[in-house]
Chain A
Amino acid sequence: MEIRPILSAMWRNRTGSVLVAVQIALTLAIVVNCMFMAKSRIEFIARPSGMDIENIITAQSLGFGSDYRHDETIDADLRALRALPGVIAVTPASGIPMSGSGSATGYKTSMDEDAPRETANYYRFDEHAEQALGVKIIEGRGFTELEVRRADDENYDRMPPQVIITKAYAERLFGDEPALGQLIYDGLNESAEVVGIIEHQYGAWVHWSSFDNVMWFPQRQEGPSIRYIIRAEPGQRDALIPVVEQTMQELNSSSRLVRNVRTMEETVATSYEGDFAIASTLIVAIILLFVITGLGIVGLASFTVRQRTKQIGTRRAIGARKRDIIRYFLTENWLMTTIGIVIGTVLTISLNYALATAFEIERLNYVYLVIGMGMLWLLGFVAVAEPARRASNVSPAVATRTV
């Protein structure tokens, strides 16, 4: 390998090579950090929710006027919706998980006023919640029909005697102790027994650090607004959306509005809109940087091929085969790319350190640095391939031309 003479020649014509090496270095530093951040966002968006989001439809009923009867409307809606072909289960709901809207309050494990409180995002569901959300109760049981308080129940404002909580919330409340059968207390020291533990479910706010602190109460949401979570059989969801809306409209359109009949996927996507936009922007930036750097390499290689036509012809005349010329340009480009990558590695780590310190983001996983290096080497190879092929086609007879 003629590395020393190539390095020597590069050093004597260093302006272009240095600029492209710096471009490669910056590209590596930016691309690797962008890749890592994009991957973090994508993983964040793709976290398993614990629910059968793909098959869930949500709808809202908003009553108005003196003729509106909240519980009767809910009863009629539930009967009709549960009877629709393709529907697995329906629960009335105080809110839609992962929608960005919900209620939360702190609960404790003793009546002690000073006992620490752990905040939970709570929902009011009926006995069909487990089926309607598609979650798994791993300990205890779901609610029974008799436990579910109607909105007109005289004890509605009091804490229901039973709750179901997520495993994550149970661990935060009780640590290693079994949570099933334990009592939890609200701020008024009213208590409820934990009758069921959900394996996993996310709550309302996707950016909340205790996103999986979720609690269910066996209650209907008081009026005049109620939401429904409707779980469809696989493949039936989209066809059911207009049917759900029409069914609810036909039941009562004089004293309530039916709105926001849509897939839960849409709701979740809206919550992750910002994260998705960040990930998309980062990916576009990565692609653009690769394209720009690739064009830079192509430009420099094409320029040097044109500039060195006579030199290439001379090399061919004194014995270089076509593959020797290709190898020369590939080696030269590999050296330039490698110098850029070495500088870029230092920049990448420094940039990540600065970002991690300033914004408290995760430290770089070096696998991404290795991937970035590999991609830039590949990019350099691909970008220089065509100029190198053109160089190899320079006729050796060019050597005898005087102009």
Chain B
Amino acid sequence: MLEMNDISRVYRTDLVETHALRGLSLSVEAGEFVAVTGPSGSGKTTFLNIAGLLETATSGSYMLDGKDVSKLSDNERSRIRNEKIGFIFQSFNLIPDLNIFDNVDVPLRYRGFNGNERRERIERALEQVGLASRMRHLPSQLSGGQQQRAAIARALAGDPAFLLADEPTGNLDSLMARQVMDLLEQINQNGTTIVMVTHDPELARRAHRNVQLLDGKIATSNPFTPQADVADIAEPAMQPVA
């Protein structure tokens, strides 16, 4: 499903270069539920951005669903994001001026589906996350948990090859977080691959596999292993440009 080989990402400014990822290699099989953990600055967000084709790696190769996606054009990356990847963001990232129906509709319009197909997909996805009765509500009229479920519906409506979740419960209280995790587990049990970035060891335990990042590299990759205590792990190295 997802295979990264020797991925590096370097951010350069006039004064410093920051190595966010250093030769990271990771393989995720179809149907897996993988938690990517690590302390702040370990490279989780950079990994997520590259895995989700939101940015490109400085070097290395990335195969997604059997296709090399590391050298694609901006338009091609947009198309693959739209068709193969479902995003779930920590802050939900719903468009506040659109109701839930229209929010779920946004990626489907970019996909070019006709009105009837879009409607069917939206209703099915909202049904799946238990928000069918709230489709005409604005995001501001929903609780945080409901908003995240709406965001999950938006991610699912296009039948993606896998879901990329960025701290999906980071802005939720424990009860809502549990409901969202239950929903993700259920989605995964239905066959959708999920890669979830989190710093919460409790959430990571619910994944099939825990990949721990440290200084832009994989420190451990263990099935059903809770995350190590990462409180003392240093930020990634900042090196002056020669």
Binding site for B on A (CB under 8 A): 2, 5, 8-9, 12-13, 310-311, 314-322, 324, 395-397, 399-400, 402
Instruction: In the A-B complex, list the 6 residue pairs whose CB atoms are closest, starting with the nearest.
Output: A319-B82, A9-B97, A319-B110, A314-B93, A397-B54, A318-B107
Interface of A, helix, strand, loop or mixed by DSSP: helix
Residues of chain B at the chain A interface (Cβ within 8 Å): 45, 48-49, 52-55, 74-75, 78-79, 81-83, 87, 89-91, 93, 95-99, 102, 105-107, 109-111, 138, 154-155, 158, 166, 170
- Determine the chain B residues whose CB is within 8 A of the CB of A317 once the complex forms: 52, 54, 81, 87, 93
Could you list 15 examples of A-B contacts with CB < 8 Å? A5-B98, A314-B95, A318-B82, A318-B155, A319-B81, A319-B82, A319-B110, A320-B110, A321-B74, A321-B79, A324-B110, A395-B54, A396-B54, A397-B55, A402-B170
Q: Give the CA-CA distance A5 to B155 in the complex, in Å.
A: 19
Closest to B155 in A: A318
For the complex, what is the distance from the CA of A315 to the CA of B74, rounded to whole Å?
14
A400 touches B49 (CB 8 A): yes
Q: Given A9-B95, A318-B81: A399 and B102 within 8 A (CB)?
A: no
Compute how far the CA of A83 lies from the CA of B154 in the bound complex, rounded to whole angstroms: 94
- Inter-subunit contact A399/B98 (CB<8 Å): no
Which chain A residues border B55 with CB–CB below 8 Å? 395-397
**Pairwise interchain contact A400-B54, C-beta atoms closer than 8 A:** yes
A400 engages B81 (CB within 8 Å) = no
Q: Is B75 in contact with A400, judged by CB distance below 8 angstroms?
A: no
A8 engages B49 (CB within 8 Å): no
**Inter-chain contacts of B154 with A (CB < 8 A):** 318
Query: In the complex, how many angstroms separate the beta carbon of A338 from the nearest chain B beta carbon?
Result: 19
Contact B93 A13 (CB under 8 A): no
A-B pairs with beta carbons under 8 A, tally: 88
Which chain B residue lies CB-closest to A319?
B82
Contact A319 B107 (CB under 8 A): yes
Nearest B residue to A396, CB-CB: B54
What is the minimal beta-carbon distance from B36 to any residue of chain A, in angstroms?
13
Question: Which residues of the other chain, B, contact A402 by a CB distance below 8 angstroms?
Answer: 90-91, 170
CB <8 Å contact, A5 and B91: no
**Known: A8-B102, A9-B98, A400-B166. Is A321-B78 also a contact (CB below 8 A)?**
yes
Tell me which of A318, A319, A397, A402 has the highest count of chain B C-beta atoms within 10 A of its own C-beta: A318
Q: Name A399's contact: one of B87, B106, B155, B170 (CB within 8 Å).
A: B87
Contact A318 B95 (CB under 8 A): no
Establish whether residues B82 and A399, one from each chain, have CB atoms under 8 Å apart when the complex forms.
Answer: no
- Which B residues are CB-close (under 8 A) to A321? 74-75, 78-79, 110
Assembly CA distance A2 to B105 (angstroms)? 10
A320 contacts B78, C-beta separation under 8 Å: yes
A319 to B154, CA, bound (A): 12
Min CB–CB distance B205 → chain A (angstroms)? 23
The minimal Cβ–Cβ distance linking A182 to chain B, given in whole angstroms, is 80
- Whole-angstrom CA separation of A321 from B158 in the bound complex: 16
CB-CB under 8 A from A319, the residues of chain B are 78-79, 81-83, 107, 110-111, 158
**A residues near B138, Cβ cutoff 8 Å:** 12
Of all chain A residues, the one with the shortest Cβ separation from B108 is A319
Please, which residues of chain B bring their CB within 8 A of the CB of A315?
95, 106, 110
Chain A neighbourhood of B111, CB < 8 A: 319
A402 CA / B166 CA spacing, docked (Å) = 10
Partner of A8, one of B54, B91, B98: B98
* Beta-carbon nearest neighbor of B50 in chain A: A397
Contact of A400 among B48, B95, B97, B105 (CB under 8 A): B48
> Chain A's nearest CB lies how many Å from the CB of B74?
6
Q: A318-B110, A397-B54 are in contact. List 16 more A-B contacts (CB 8 A).
A: A5-B98, A5-B102, A311-B93, A311-B95, A315-B110, A316-B54, A317-B54, A317-B87, A317-B93, A319-B107, A321-B110, A396-B55, A399-B93, A400-B45, A400-B52, A400-B89
Contact present for B89 and A13 (CB under 8 Å): no
| Complex-state Cα separation, A113 to B53, whole angstroms | 100
Q: Do A318 and B97 have beta carbons less than 8 Å apart? A: no
Nearest Cβ on chain A to B85's Cβ, whole angstroms:
9
On chain A, the residues within 8 Å of B82 by CB distance are 318-320
| A311 and B102 alpha carbons, distance in the complex (Å) | 14
- Closest B residue to A316 using CB positions: B78
Q: Measured between C-beta atoms, what is the minimum distance from B124 to chain A in Å?
A: 18
Q: Which residue of A lies closest to B99 (CB)?
A: A8
B102 touches A396 (CB 8 A): no
By a CB distance below 8 angstroms, the chain B residues around A13 are 97
**In the complex, what's the smallest C-beta–C-beta distance from A316 to chain B, in angstroms?**
7
**B170 — which chain A residues lie within 8 A by C-beta?**
402
B52 (CB) vs chain A CBs: closest residue: A317
CB distance from B196 to the nearest CB of A (A): 13
Considering the chains assembled together, what is the distance between the CA atoms of A400 and B99 in angstroms?
Answer: 22
B49's nearest neighbour on chain A, judged by CB, is A397
**Neighbouring A residues of B109 by C-beta, 8 Å:** 2
Tell me, in angstroms, the Cα distance from A402 to B199 when the chains sit together: 14
CB <8 Å contact, A322 and B74:
yes
Which residues of A are found within 8 Å of B98, using beta-carbon distances? 5, 8-9
B residues less than 8 Å from A397 (CB atoms): 49, 54-55
CB distance from B20 to the nearest CB of A (A): 12
Residue of B whose beta carbon sits closest to that of A13: B97
Shortest Cβ gap from A395 to chain B (Å): 7
Give every chain A residue within 8 A of B75 (Cβ-Cβ): 321-322
Shortest C-beta distance, A14 to chain B (Å), equals 10
Given A317-B54, A318-B154, A321-B74, A8-B97 contact (CB < 8 Å): yes
Complex CA gap A326/B87 in Å reads 22
Q: Which residues of B contact A8 (CB under 8 A)?
A: 97-99, 102
